[in-house]
Amino acid sequence: MRSHQHKLATLACLIILPVAANAQSAISPTIDGVFSISKSSLEAFSNESEMEGFFLSSDLTFSDHISLGLDVDRKTWDPDFTLIDLSFDRLQLEPTYTFANGFYVGAFVQDASLDVIYSIDFDSRGLFAGFTSGKWDAEVYAGETEMSLAPFEEGQFESTMHGVSTSYDISDQLEISAHISQANLPDDSGGGQHNMHALAATYKLNNGYTAYGAYERFKSEMYGAEELDAYALGVGYNFAERGTKVPGMVTIEVGRRDIYDSSEDWTTLAWVVPLGKGEVEPLDSIARSAKGDVRTPYLQFVAHSSGLTVLP
């Protein structure tokens, strides 16, 4: 298991290298992206609970070719039926080089933790490549993840992972997104796979409203076959498109997650604010899974749920 100092040094290098490479450029760095704050009400096993979240997806651009992506997730869950509070934190950095023809390559480092009684820590790193061309966006990635359970020093699980995501603008109003990812655990770490499949559609109306729907399936072969299916419908209202001075978009989403022989229902209210040229989109939603923002399959699931149904 890498030490905390090693992780900080790695993250620092990912920040310093793009800056150093662009030191002689006359272009001033710009920040584009979107952040969201949200509050969710969940009902599961005849009990109700609340969840609060903060999400940031951004890019620091140094030149026409060099940028640094920064994602931050923070989620807390306070179930009424137990004294245990839960929290989920995720930080991801991804330096990226974009070619003139729209292709790009890069690397990512992700540090995440799920705090229940002990802290379950995830360290991920990998490479990705993709392109943006007209109506199409696509990306592939591959990497590895270490998981450790504090206060133990040695990691309990190691896995490799890979995935692909794509988006297509059918029209100026309708976008379809899909994502498939898989993590493979070696036999000495328990064996099996985590699989995540997600599909989403977003339709922009002419009056400032946006409607969207999403479906995802998380399947784990660890500790036996486990499948989780989730469905969500949401609507957003973009204040800027209506000519008001209020920034961003308000979204409300209802969804259901089928878990074993039971289900979990949720309602989420969120305020999404753009940064720079960022376009507002629901970040606290399973619709985000279809964008491929969170590349690790298990973390992709836990980023917008209680995350305790299955362990990685």
Domain annotation covers residue 120? yes
Report whether the peptide linkage leading into residue 151 is cis, meaning its omega lies within 30 degrees of zero: yes
pLDDT surpassing 80 at residue 10: no
pLDDT surpassing 70 at residue 3: no
DSSP 67-79: EEEEEEEEEEEEE
Domain annotation covers residue 309? no
Asked whether 289 and 167 are in contact (CB, 8 A), the reply is no
Percent with pLDDT over 90 in the chain: 37
Domain annotation covers residue 310? no
- Greater model confidence, 301 or 2: 301
Domain annotation covers residue 50? yes
Asked whether 275 and 186 are in contact (CB, 8 A), the reply is no
**Number of C-alpha atoms within 13 angstroms, CB side, residue 3?**
3
Domain annotation covers residue 198? yes
Report, as an integer, the average pLDDT of 301-311.
Answer: 48
Residue type, 309: T
Q: Quick one: which H or E segment has residue 4? A: helix 4-21
Query: 137 Cβ partners below 8 Å, 6+ apart?
Result: 130, 131, 166, 167, 168
d(CA 181, CA 69): 20
DSSP 34-99: EEEEEEEEEEETTEEEEEEEEEEEEEEE-SSSEEEEEEEEEEEEEETT-S--EEEEEEEEEEEEE-
Provide the number of structural domains found in the chain: 1
> What's 145's domain CATH number?
2.40.160.40
- pLDDT, one tens digit per residue, over 246-300 is 889 999 999 988 876 778 888 999 999 999 888 888 777 788 888 888 888 777 6
DSSP three-state, residue 256: strand
Domain annotation covers residue 49? yes
Report, as an integer, the average pLDDT of 212-216.
Answer: 93
pLDDT surpassing 60 at residue 154: no
Report, as an integer, the average pLDDT of 125-147.
Answer: 92
d(CA 156, CA 123): 12
Q: What domain range is 157 assigned to?
A: 4-302
Domain annotation covers residue 159? yes
Domain annotation covers residue 217? yes
